[in-house]
Structure 1
């Protein structure tokens, strides 16, 4: 899906084209965003900015923003993707078309656990509302875009390997797994599906990269330290050792 098998994971309000360009010497992919697409998710994002002093992308036109940021990466040797949030499926489909036309992948956010987003049906809520998540993936895939889902482990009542298999069945190409404190879930997801599996959480050094590679991950991703060249260099070297064997 991308080479080297190291991705930069989305950072709310920070992961834009400039961020991806800065990390392109180290990574094979960069997931920009996340970005709220519809009225409900945008209202939740504004609430988080107001009440928590969070950073969020809140452009007047989210689709135009996605297109602009992807256009800015046309000359950058990295595979771009966009992490999107929405309480309704139609904006996800529209975003998928933009990503398709720009040669980017679409990552549906079923990961964020902030109360404001969950209250409107975004983020982690989708892990339990599988019928709606299936619809998002199926309809986005119908556009011809490459579609995947960012998920979180350790959500009560959610069988993540089974969910990954279901996502594959409705057209997903990859799953991006925040393992939380359960790194071994990667092996279970790999065993359950033929999806491209990206392992996220705690990727800082050779030990973490080796563990995820041993569990069968196809790639790893770096979140918060993605702005630190020293960490990226260390992880890039580890990926070359552990994934090229």
Structure 2
């Protein structure tokens, strides 16, 4: 699959709809803040770091997502791809807010964001160091959501054994492992860790990080990813050339 990765404050229906005509098979909306701690962290991201964030109130997220997905589907009714929603939460409880949204195909747990307010809220990348909470989330969504489940992780996080985390995630009924193969201090993906992950897990791996060209795309596939996702390159408006 060719995947549009989440970008907080950017990936709503209006932004995402055009990619239904650019070779994308899976569109990721979000990331969205699902509870009070992550919502407050999002506001702090805006005020302290001038980052884009969605202002969606957790209590209205179901309705807002329905509107975003309608925008995408109505723009290109011929597009038969999947819709994923990237979600930040501090515990397992908020995910049930979206179980009745039949137009959502995939719930993606955000174990990836690294902004200080998110880490202080014990969400995003912080979940990689707290397998109790991450496990509770995985148990909740894989048991009760009735949807496909993705987990987006970041590699090479200090104090975290990436391969152990992958093994832990695989112990649950997860459908996709979305891997930001971050290579600290390097402007490019860590293909070595991606290759090791793909060789270790039977989960469908979506490779992500610094995919800006067709060559980057092919290198992700050559190192074992079954799918590849694009994020920041999509801000330029045209990503079809990356997949072709």
Identify the residue that residue 18 of structure 2 maps to in structure 1: 22
Identify the residue that residue 160 of structure 1 maps to in structure 2: 162
SS of the residue aligned with 1:151?
Answer: strand
8 Å CA contact 2:142, 2:174 repeated in 1 = yes
Q: Distance in 1 between matches of 2:31 and 2:225?
A: 23
Q: Distance in 2 between matches of 1:229 and 1:51?
A: 28
Q: Deviation above 4 Å: which 4+ runs of structure 1?
A: none
Identify the residue that residue 243 of structure 1 maps to in structure 2: none
Instruction: Give the length in aligned residue pairs.
Output: 230
SS of the residue aligned with 1:83?
Answer: strand
Identify the residue that residue 184 of structure 1 maps to in structure 2: 192
SS of the residue aligned with 1:124?
Answer: helix
The Cα shift of 1:211 comes to 1.4
SS of the residue aligned with 2:11?
Answer: coil
Identify the residue that residue 240 of structure 2 maps to in structure 1: 233
Whether 2:80 is the aligned partner of 1:73: answer: no
Q: Distance in 2 between matches of 1:50 and 1:220?
A: 32
8 Å CA contact 2:3, 2:228 repeated in 1 = yes
Identify the residue that residue 91 of structure 2 maps to in structure 1: 88
Following superposition of structure 1 onto structure 2, how do residues 19-168 of structure 1 map, counting pairs within 5 Å?
19-26=15-22, 27-60=24-57, 61-75=60-74, 76=76, 77=79, 78-95=81-98, 97-99=99-101, 101-142=102-143, 143-168=145-170
Q: Distance in 2 between matches of 1:98 and 1:202?
A: 35
8 Å CA contact 1:93, 1:136 repeated in 2 = no
Deviations 1:196-231 (A, max 9, x none): 10011111112212211111100111111113244x
Choose which of 9, 23, 26 in structure 2 pairs with 1:13: 9
Cα distance, 1:52–1:229 mapped onto 2, change above 3 Å: closer
Q: Distance in 1 between matches of 2:194 and 2:96?
A: 28
Deviations 1:134-185 (A, max 9, x none): 1111211122111111100110222222222221211211111111122221
Could you tell me the TM-score, scaled by structure 1's length? 0.88
Whether 2:221 is the aligned partner of 1:213: answer: yes
Q: Distance in 2 between matches of 1:111 and 1:93?
A: 21
Q: What RMSD in Å do the two structures reach over aligned CA positions?
A: 1.5
SS of the residue aligned with 1:102?
Answer: coil
The Cα shift of 1:98 comes to 4.1
Deviations 1:35-60 (A, max 9, x none): 10101110111111122222111123
8 Å CA contact 2:113, 2:124 repeated in 1 = yes
Choose which of 186, 189, 193 in structure 1 pairs with 2:201: 193
Q: Distance in 1 between matches of 2:223 and 2:125?
A: 24
8 Å CA contact 1:137, 1:148 repeated in 2 = no
8 Å CA contact 2:7, 2:30 repeated in 1 = yes
- In the alignment, structure 1 segments of 5+ residues that lack a partner are 238-245
Could you tell me the TM-score, scaled by structure 2's length? 0.89
